[in-house]
Structure 1
């Protein structure tokens, strides 16, 4: 009887140790899976680290795609409709100063058609400053 008690007690202890080990392993497995998911999520947010080499490779690929799209567009529509204002400005350096040259030239006389300003009574302008718009001499009250 004493021997059976000792064997049963040893088995109970061994079973308790096995159960605790399995619970610990399950917890460790859950933690490992959670960490892996968290690391994968973190990697997704980090993106690709950019170095000079990777940027240059991307740039070459991007420029090739852009050139291919331009070639396709020219192939589809070979007849150019003319340059846009930006394209003309970027191509000709003289356009940088053309406005200043025009304003400084003698031909820069700007004519104003005063008949466009005769119907000023129709406008809803507040007369806060005491200006009389009806006076033809332009005097301020």
Structure 2
């Protein structure tokens, strides 16, 4: 659900792609940085980066981008970080336990209204993730035109 793949096709060679991408990526994000991504780009064509164009306290839901350069193709894999995956699993588990506990005690059908809130929560996170992935793809594709 929180994983996407994308391939960028370009006429550039592997070395040219690495040469273009490396100046756009810094090792660790620093305040007031002008870099678009943080992470690392290896000379063998593998990279692991995160976008920094929306790096603020409210915009921490950034995708991790794992990339592999093969000839003139750049294969990208977008995912959320492990901490957020575990946090979502914890929230969903607590939600189910809470609803089952309350329903068992009160046996009121209104308790089941918690499920739509859970669905809205997950949908909101999914739309946010998709938006940030799309921004990252557009930015990366602009480098290699």
Smaller-chain TM-score bracket: under 0.3
TM-score norm. by structure 1 comes to 0.24
Structure holding more strand per residue: 2
Larger RCO, structure (CA 8 Å, separation 6 or more)? 2
Largest Rg, 1 or 2: 1
Structure holding more helix per residue: 1
TM-score norm. by structure 2 comes to 0.23
